[in-house]
Structure 1
Amino acid sequence: MLSFRFEKLNAFQGKSAAIKRPREITVFSFDDSHKHHLDGRSLRYYYPPFVQVPYITEKNRIDLSQGFETFIKHDDSVNLHLNPLLDTIQHYEEQTGAKLKADILTWRGMMTKIFIAPFDMFGEFEMNATCYQNQLAKAAEWKSKTQRVSSSLEKMQFWGYKFETLATLPKQWQDCTRGEIEGRDTEVVNNNPQYCSVVRTGIGNHTIVIGGEVDAVEGCKPDDPNDSIPYIELKTSEDFRGDDDFAAKKFERKMCRFWAQSFLLGVPKVIIGFRSKDGHLQRLEEWKTMDIPSFVKNRGMRTWDGNVCINFAAAFLDFLKQHINDEGTWTIEQKKGDKQILLSKISDEYSRDIVSTKFREHRATFQFKATCEAKTQE
């Protein structure tokens, strides 16, 4: 068993490691039944909910608990591993004839866990990895130590999905009916549909392909693939008074995760719906993703440092590439409160849960165009 220790963060301070702007390669979707589709059918469009408007009195503020009884919740006990991402990459390669090369292939959630590890006091995860065609693939979800989600936590999770439903439309505003726009408060909340972006980015010495869910787009996607896409990340958080330092510090720590999730996929804006303790939407706040670390450093409580997160991730990926160098199966684990991430080889055989047989056969038999490699503009 190997250990990547980080009791002291001095080694990760200073100017951040080299980073490359995330560039979208392709997209995929899950539909209302969580069936995978190789297109963007589940893309939602941001249109703010009716909050902070003069004709809604305080007692009629939006109740995020409305519709909890009819919530259609995705069954996350079924682990799809990397398969949707690999199937999407296979389709992309078949359509373009170009092999998508990268040092690391993973889900955005995995990289987020690593990014925030230096400052996450409750960090806890377990994921698997292997080396395939000189590419490090990471899969599997972090394993929760809690067997049962409390009813109060379940309702708080619903509030986030409810906010997403209230803040988005299935089509651009001009193509929606008045009923679709004004009836979002009674729309059945279903978290099966997802729109996912696949991007290539770089951190330190590593080129990374990441897949992750995008909540919505503001306006529309640009025609020029080199232009930044106005995606947004939607979040909810409990509102607090300006003089409540404890609550402000708690929120600032949450912002570390908000920033990392958006930064990794190249999502330029985070929109936060602040709610009351009992789940009533109070107000909206917009943050530019790239402004969040500087706010924490210059005007906040300095509970975390974006450069440290980037340097930590770059160093940890160096560690993985050094030690995961065959097609065995490895476990990457952090226990709650530990200032170390453990790396253990659990099998000399590769796990089909990480890189599927279907994808392996595709890479072994597909005739790629000579000297053709998928590229993104740096």
Structure 2
Amino acid sequence: MNISTFNIQPTSRFAGSNTTIRRPREIACFSYDDQRQFHLGETSLRYYYPPRLPADLNRGFDTFQQLDDSADEHLDALLQTIIALEKETGKKCEADIITWRGMMTKILVAPFDIMNGFEMNATRFQDTIFIEENNAYKNEQKIRQRNQRMPPGMASQDLMAYWGYKFETLCLLRQPWDPTPREEIESREEQIVNNSSQYCSVVRTGIGSTRIVIGGEVDAVWDCKPDRKEDPIHWVELKTSAEIHSDRDMLKYERKLLKFWAQSFLLGVPKIIVGFRDQQGIIRRLEELETSSLPVKVKKYGKGVWDGNICINFAAAFLEWLRNTIHGDGTWRIRKLEKSPVIEVFKVEEHGFGDILSPAFSAWRST
């Protein structure tokens, strides 16, 4: 097997701030409803309104309607949205790479996330590389995580995952604050948590010479979406984190901030709201963070455990290399082993798209 490798280390070779970045701009959107049914448009768009504090994130865990995400959804919803966009505009959605935000996040944070691994599948079609998560690998990781023994006094992995979804439910409204009845705002604590419903933004962006189209979930909008498509949208990303009591806690929090920043940066989300919780899952305070100022904040006032410019320069160099490495027909694997300083790329199938492209998309593009 012929394996091509891209070195992540030493990160110093990606220092500086010379990479051009194209501001992410929404070109389309789609929604999943509470039954995980796909809909074009913004039916699942939610609006931010702060929760009442202190907020107990444990409430309703026994009625949690949890999405079973073990099935492989591939890029189907994203590609369906692109078909609709191309029909509407009469133009091909040109990009060097089309993928989910989650895949781009893993690539962007790779220089400072050596401990974790990833596996993706990719194929080239009409000069665009389409990248999805390797679902078998994702499911293996989830089982490993679930079986991890938590330290005494710590909540289970399942409960901690629920805390994140509960926090979102406590912060969201189905319509803007003004027309929302007071009882609806105040009854959010009683609402059954369902994580099937999602609003997904499809954005056009670029890092270095690589043009990218990304689809990713957005938690909420601060006010309303603007009428003009070219205007920036005041998106909000919602996160929870443990309260900081020591230097060690601060270090853990800064590592978390790397992922928070990368996810929001890629979709053009300007604001992150963090709910700080105690060990019992009670939110005590909220903090608003500006996505654009996070790298400077970490570098200047924190432990300096990551550097945003290095991440961006690395991603630019890696994506350019990837475009020269994945060529011709077939399916490829993009893999980073845990603790490995290299990303490997190799062919797993000589021909075809390996289910990465939906039949509807390849048929549409071939007409």
Indicate the TM-score class for this superposition, using the shorter chain for normalisation: over 0.9
Aligned to 2:133: 140
Aligned to 1:248: 250
CA distance in 1, matches of 2:312, 2:66: 34
Residues 42-81 of structure 1 correspond to what in structure 2 (within 5 A)? 42-51=44-53, 61-81=54-74
Tell me, yes or no, if the aligned pair for 1:204 and 1:314 is still in contact at 8 Å: yes
**Superposed displacement of residue 123, structure 1:** 1.7
**Superposed displacement of residue 71, structure 1:** 0.3
**Superposed displacement of residue 351, structure 1:** 2.4
CA distance in 2, matches of 1:3, 1:198: 30
Aligned to 1:318: 320
Identity %: 50
Aligned to 2:124: 131
Number of residue-to-residue matches in the alignment: 354
CA distance in 2, matches of 1:136, 1:181: 44
2:146 matched to 1:153? no
**Superposed displacement of residue 352, structure 1:** 4.2
Structure 2 counterpart of 1:356, from 355, 358, 367: 358
Tell me, yes or no, if the aligned pair for 1:45 and 1:218 is still in contact at 8 Å: yes
Tell me, yes or no, if the aligned pair for 1:79 and 1:140 is still in contact at 8 Å: no
Aligned to 1:369: none
SS at match of 2:50: coil
Unaligned runs of 5+ in 1: 52-60, 366-378
Aligned to 2:104: 111
Unaligned runs of 5+ in 2: 148-154
CA RMSD of aligned residues (A): 1.2
CA distance in 2, matches of 1:16, 1:298: 20
After superposition, the Cα gap between the structure-2 partners of 1:146 and 1:225, relative to the gap in structure 1 and judged at 3 Å, is closer
Deviations 1:220-274 (A, max 9, x none): 0111212110001000000113xx1111011001000000000000000000000
CA distance in 1, matches of 2:356, 2:228: 34
User: Under a length normalisation based on structure 2, what TM-score does the superposition of the two structures give?
Assistant: 0.94
SS at match of 1:175: coil
SS at match of 1:359: helix
CA distance in 1, matches of 2:129, 2:331: 11
Residues 283-298 of structure 1 correspond to what in structure 2 (within 5 A)? 283-298=285-300
Tell me, yes or no, if the aligned pair for 2:114 and 2:341 is still in contact at 8 Å: no
After superposition, the Cα gap between the structure-2 partners of 1:107 and 1:140, relative to the gap in structure 1 and judged at 3 Å, is same
Tell me, yes or no, if the aligned pair for 1:108 and 1:261 is still in contact at 8 Å: yes
Tell me, yes or no, if the aligned pair for 1:16 and 1:308 is still in contact at 8 Å: no
Residues 1-378 of structure 1 correspond to what in structure 2 (within 5 A)? 1-51=3-53, 61-141=54-134, 143=138, 144-147=140-143, 149-150=146-147, 152-241=156-245, 244-365=246-367
Deviations 1:293-331 (A, max 9, x none): 000111111100000000111111012111101121000
CA distance in 2, matches of 1:300, 1:191: 33
Deviations 1:163-192 (A, max 9, x none): 000001011112212221000001000000
**Superposed displacement of residue 137, structure 1:** 0.6
CA distance in 1, matches of 2:352, 2:241: 41
Tell me, yes or no, if the aligned pair for 2:331 and 2:354 is still in contact at 8 Å: no
Question: Structure 1 residues 127-136 or 142-151, which shifts more?
Answer: 142-151
**Superposed displacement of residue 11, structure 1:** 1.1
